[in-house]
Amino acid sequence: MRDAKYNVAVAGALGMVGTEMMRTLERRAFPISEFRPLDTPENVGREVVFDGKVVPVQSATQQNFKGIDIAIFSAGAAASRELAPKAVEMGAVVVDNSTQWRMDPECPLVVPEVNPDDLKWHRGIIPNPNCSTIQMVVVLKPLHDAGRIKRVVVSTYQAASGGGRRGFEGLTAEVHEYLATGKRVVPQVHPVQLAFNAVPHIDVFQEHGYTKEEFKMVNETRKILGDNSIRVNPTAVRIPVWYGHSESINVETETKITAAQARKILSAAPNVMVKDDPGNDIYPTPLDSNDVDETMVGRIREDLTIDNGLNLWVVSNNIRKGAALNAVQIAETLVAMDLVRVPERM
C-alpha cells in the first residue's frame, strides 16, 4: 500500500540478530508508524534507541502483538513455535528467522532476489532461510535460469557469529586465552577449540554422517528454487572469523555456461557483487563483508573435470544478508506487493 506506514515489532530485539534487524529497519528507512521491541521477561523495561527515540522493551507475549502489522522474529525455534501463530491471530504477518517453519509446506521460504512471488501464498508466517542457504541461492538462481543446475557440491566456511552472540563471544574468549597461554584451551561452544582451528561440525550429526546444518542446505535450496531434482552435497565447517560466511561451490548445469558467461550473468543479478580478478588479488573475503549487503562472488572458473561445471567462491555477511537483511527485505517485498493487512488506525 503506497505511502502507508506500519506498526512493526522485533521479537528477540536484544539478541545479536535482533539488534541488527533494528539497525536494518532504520538504515533502509522502512515505513514505520510504531516500533515495538519485544524480548524475554527479564529484559522488560530495558531501552533501545530506534530512529532517534528511546523505546522501552516489552515482553514477547500474545497481547503485545496487538495492533502490530509486521512482526520480525529472532527469538529461537521454541519461542517462534509458541508465539508466531499467536501473533498471526492478533493480525500480524510474521517473518521468522528460526528453523521452526522453514520446511512447513504451508509456509513460503523466501529470498526476495530469488522467489518473491512465493509470498503471494503466505498464510501469515514467512520463515527466513538458513544463512548459508541464502547466500548460495542468491548466486545459484541466475545460473539455474541460464543453464538449469543439476548438482551442487558446497563446502561452507562459517563465521563464529553464525552461532549467535554465544558463538561470537566464545571465539573471542578462546582467542584471548590461547594468545595468553599458547596452549590449547577449553572449548567454549564447539566440541573442540575453534580459535586458530577449523571445525567440520555445525549442529548435530544425522543419518549418513551429515549434520543437521548440511541437511538444511539440501532441503531449503530445493524448496526456494522450486526444483526437487537438484542434488546438493554439502559440508559445513566453522572457522575462526567473527563475521562473514564463505562457500566453495561447484555447480554442474545441463547447459554449458562458460566462466565469462557466468561473470556476465552474475554481474547483472540483483544484489550480487562480482569481485573476480585473482591476478590482481581481487576476490571476496569474510572481512570484505563487514559493511556490505551484497552477496559477493569470485574465483569464477570452469571445472576442468566435467563438461558443464563451474567453481565459485561466495562470501556474504551472515548477520546481515544471512539473517536481518533478508528478513527486512521480505517485509519490504510484502509492502511492495501489498500483502500486509493494515487495519484502520484510530
Query: What are the boundaries of each domain within the chain?
Result: 6-129+324-336, 133-318
C-alpha 280/C-alpha 278 separation (Å) is 5
Note the residue count of the chain. Answer: 346
State the pLDDT at residue 342: 47
pLDDT at position 2, please? 57
Coil, strand, or helix at residue 155? strand
Q: From the candidates 107, 131, 144, 190, give the one annotated as an active-site residue.
A: 131
Helix (H) or strand (E) holding 39: strand 32-39
Active-site residue identified among 122, 144, 190, 245: 245
Question: What's the CA gap between 217 and 340, in Å, rounded?
Answer: 29
pLDDT given for residue 343 in this prediction = 46
Query: In the prediction, which pLDDT does 182 show?
Result: 94
Q: Residue 177, class by beta-carbon neighbours within 10 Å (0-12 exposed, 13-18 middle, 19+ buried)?
A: middle
What is the structure's pLDDT at 20? 97
pLDDT in tens, 196-207: 999 999 999 998
The answer to whether 208 is a known catalytic residue is no
CA atoms within 13 A on the CB side of 236: 27
Q: For residues 308 and 120, is the Cβ–Cβ distance under 8 A?
A: no
Identity of the amino acid at 164: G
- The string over 86-112, giving b where at least 16 C-beta atoms fall within 10 Å of a residue's C-beta and e elsewhere, is bbbeebbbbbbbbbbbbeeeebbbbbb
CA atoms of 286 and 274, how far apart (whole Å): 14
Closest of 144, 201, 146, 194 to residue 169, by C-alpha: 194
The answer to whether 131 is a known catalytic residue is: yes
Tell me what pLDDT residue 1 has.
52
Checking 201-204 for CB contacts under 8 A at 24+ apart, the result is 201/238, 202/156, 202/158, 202/162, 202/236, 202/237, 202/238, 203/236
The segments of the chain whose pLDDT lies below 70 read: 1-2, 342-346
Please tell me the CATH code under which domain 133-318 is placed. 3.30.360.10
Model confidence pLDDT, tens digit, residues 253-297: 999 999 999 999 999 999 999 999 999 999 999 999 999 999 999
Q: Report domain 6-129+324-336's class.
A: alpha beta
